[in-house]
Amino acid sequence: MGDMVKVYRSKARPGLVDADIQQILDTSRRNNAGTGLSGMLLYGRGRFIQLLEGPGPAVDRTYRRILSDPRHNDVVLIYDRSGEPRRFTDWVMGFAGIERYAHLASVSQFMQLDDTMDIVGFSSDAALRLLLDFRREFSHSTAAVAAG
């Protein structure tokens, strides 16, 4: 039996700065370590995309907390499945700023979304491909900030 996996995307609140993102990461890593969650957070052009995975109740609680977090606007759940294998088991919460990875086709597609973040234009398959591309990219890089 596998774990629950949720992927969402959101817009960052206006005025979000690097210190805010670092606070999100520090809190996520601390909370996730205590609840058995793992995942990946990507940020670029004022947008987040995150995969959360682990025990169902912990994933649900974390997602509900994100929905009420004022640093996120327009949260859209784009993938929600149970019984899945974990994809980021070694990462309590990986992180990457996506702009420097525009050479990856999945990043390019994400960066081309317009301000409406049209759900049809970026499917759950595209979101998973984007996140898995980063996992692959980081598995070959010693400079990755993904370990968290």
39, two tokens:
């995942």
- How far is 141 from 114, CA to CA, in rounded Å? 30
- Is pLDDT at 68 greater than 50 in this prediction? yes
* Measured distance CA(17)–CA(7) in Å, rounded: 23
Is it the case that residue 64 has pLDDT exceeding 90?
Answer: yes
Q: How confident is the model at residue 59 (pLDDT cuts 50, 70, 90)?
A: very high
pLDDT band at 108 (very low <50, low <70, confident <90, very high): low
Which residue's entry shows tokens 């509900």?
Answer: 64
pLDDT of 8 reads: 93
Least confident of 5-9, 34-38, 65-69, 135-139: 135-139
Sheet of 47-54: strand order equals 72-84, 3-12, 47-54, 38-44, 94-97
Domains, the chain, with CATH or none: 3-139 (3.30.70.100)
Question: Residues near 10 by Cβ (< 8 Å), separated by ≥ 6?
Answer: 47, 48, 66, 72, 73, 74, 75, 76
Distance separating alpha carbons of residues 87 and 38, to the nearest angstrom = 9
| Model confidence at 34: pLDDT above 80 | yes
